[in-house]
Amino acid sequence: MSKARLRLVCLLLALCALVCLPPKGAGEGANEARVRVFDDVWGLVRERYYDPALRGVDWPGLGARLRPLAAVARDEAEFYGVLRRLLASLRDPHTRVFPPGESEDWRVQRFVSVGLTVREVEGTVVVAGVARGSEAARAGVRLGDEIVSVDGERPEALVARRLGDAVVSPSARPLAVARLFDGPRDTPAHLLFRREVGGRVREARLPREVFARVPEFTLKGAGGGVYVAGFNIFTEAVAARFVRALRDEGDDARALVIDLRENGGGETEALTDIASVLLPAGAPLGRFTGRDGRAVSEPRTRARLLSAAEAPTAFTGPVVLLTGPRTASAAEVFAASLREAGRARLFGETTCGCVLGIRRRHTLPDGGVLDISEMDYRTAAGKRLEGAGLTPDEPVAPTRADLRKGHDPTLKRAVEWLRRRRGR
């Protein structure tokens, strides 16, 4: 081949290479930005986590393994899946990350779900809740139905894989069961379920969608002067409604059940206001400490509330608290404080054992939000609740038949106990 012909071939190859190269545009820029976000999360957790040892996790090594996955993530969903893998190693539900737009208001909890809540009952994973109007409800899934498989895998295998080598705690298994349908948003979950023991297996394909959980508060009479209050989060607005509702009932409310089974926590100031209605002013509610072991906050009940202009009307009747695996964070602080003060008796199941504190939320470079557990907690008596939870004074758990029939044995036992106590 002549030199001139060789130069021409080389020129054509060079031009071809230039044409075939992908342009430096949105994809490459997005991945560079995601690596910066990954590094931000990786570094903030290392610097601010309440436990300097990061619960024994090899944080540098884990980050080094996952960082390349962040760099090649195809979209936001895949990238945030990598971030969640990083944080999941801490086995701490308080330390979590949200994509842009998914956590603008912490009071409204948004999460990806198929519209089902599941739990273990009598050694079987069964349906404990079905969202109204969901595809799961339209597919005929009912309370008490057994989950046979999810995407072709048995529930026990999925739970075992999610537990991995984690140290067993009261919350570890219930949390792993609750995550049975985890997966990317807008992807289907192939579900096999069964209504009766040994019955026909049914099938459904359920979309993974974003659901919102908004603050709720109820106060209802159960007869005989017993009232039942229920709320799923501690906020200033919920505290104000609690105080106002008790005041409006006046002398009719002689005994109180507070249902915390779906309460995942909230504001310390709000739990302090509600506790101030049930305990004398100045009662200790425990101690939050930073990563250096020093006290950051030591809340106490007060004579004046932040959520109401007027002084609270003290409630002096007997109190029962209902607890379960989803009772977490501020709800556990509240329950522990009332029990240690001799003010309440606990009915139900062991709580989550998820009691760490978040000092502030961190906004990430892409607009996402990172929550970090920056504080540990001990009760006024010095008991650490993280990883241990609260064991109820009166253990009560629903059976599969209870779920199918809509029975609530825990509430029934609590109301009966209060009526007997009032009748003495």
**pLDDT tens sequence across 73-94:** 999 989 999 999 999 899 888 8
The parent domain of residue 318 ranges over: 217-423
Q: Mean pLDDT over all residues of the chain? A: 87
The CATH number for 158's domain is 2.30.42.10
Task: List the structure tokens of 28.
Answer: 């490459």
Residue at which a domain ends, from 159, 184, 212: 212
DSSP 216-272: -EEEEEEETTEEEEEESSB-HHHHHHHHHHHHHHGGG--EEEEE-TT---B-HHHHH
C-alpha to C-alpha distances, 248 to 99, 242, 257, 260, 270, nearest whole angstrom: 42, 10, 17, 22, 20
Residue 96 lies in a domain: no
**Residue 77, pLDDT score:** 86
The yes-or-no verdict on residue 10 having pLDDT over 50 is no
The CATH number for 306's domain is 3.90.226.10
Residue 9 lies in a domain: no
Q: How many separate domains does the chain show?
A: 3
199 and 225 both lie in a single domain? no
285 and 377 both lie in a single domain? yes
CA distance 234 to 272: 10
Residue at which a domain ends, from 212, 239, 270: 212
225 and 205 both lie in a single domain? no
Residue 245 near residue 299 (C-beta atoms within 8 A): no
Residue 97 lies in a domain: no
Burial class (CB in 10 A: 0-12, 13-18, 19+), 353: buried
Number of alpha carbons in the 13 Å side-chain half-sphere of residue 133: 2
306 and 381 both lie in a single domain? yes
Residue 196 has φ and ψ, to the nearest 5°, of -110, 155
pLDDT tens readout for residues 61-72: 999 999 999 999
Q: Please name which of 237, 308, 298 lies closest in space to residue 277, comparing C-alpha atoms.
A: 308
Residue 403 lies in a domain: yes
276 and 369 both lie in a single domain? yes
DSSP conformation class of 318: -
- Helix (H) / strand (E) element for 107: namely none
Residue 299 lies in a domain: yes
As a whole number, mean pLDDT of residues 175-194 equals: 88
**Residue 307, pLDDT score:** 77
300 and 378 both lie in a single domain? yes
DSSP conformation class of 196: S
Residue 15 lies in a domain: no
Residue at which a domain ends, from 197, 212, 227: 212
58 and 158 both lie in a single domain? no
224 and 251 both lie in a single domain? yes
pLDDT tens readout for residues 127-140: 999 999 899 999 99
**Sequence letter at residue 103:** S
Give percent above pLDDT 70 in the chain. 88
**Residue 30, pLDDT score:** 65
DSSP conformation class of 140: T
CA distance 114 to 387: 28
221 and 184 both lie in a single domain? no
Task: Look at strands 226-231 and 255-259 and give their pairing.
Answer: parallel
The owner of tokens 């920056």 is 374
Q: Please name which of 189, 182, 186 lies closest in space to residue 161, comparing C-alpha atoms.
A: 182
As a whole number, mean pLDDT of residues 267-276 equals: 95
Number of alpha carbons in the 13 Å side-chain half-sphere of residue 138: 7
Residue 182 lies in a domain: yes
61 and 183 both lie in a single domain? no
389 and 248 both lie in a single domain? yes
Cβ atoms within 10 Å, residue 31: 16
Residue 3 lies in a domain: no
257 and 187 both lie in a single domain? no
Residue 162 near residue 179 (C-beta atoms within 8 A): yes
Residue 326 near residue 361 (C-beta atoms within 8 A): no
pLDDT tens readout for residues 197-241: 778 999 999 999 888 788 899 999 999 899 999 999 999 999 999
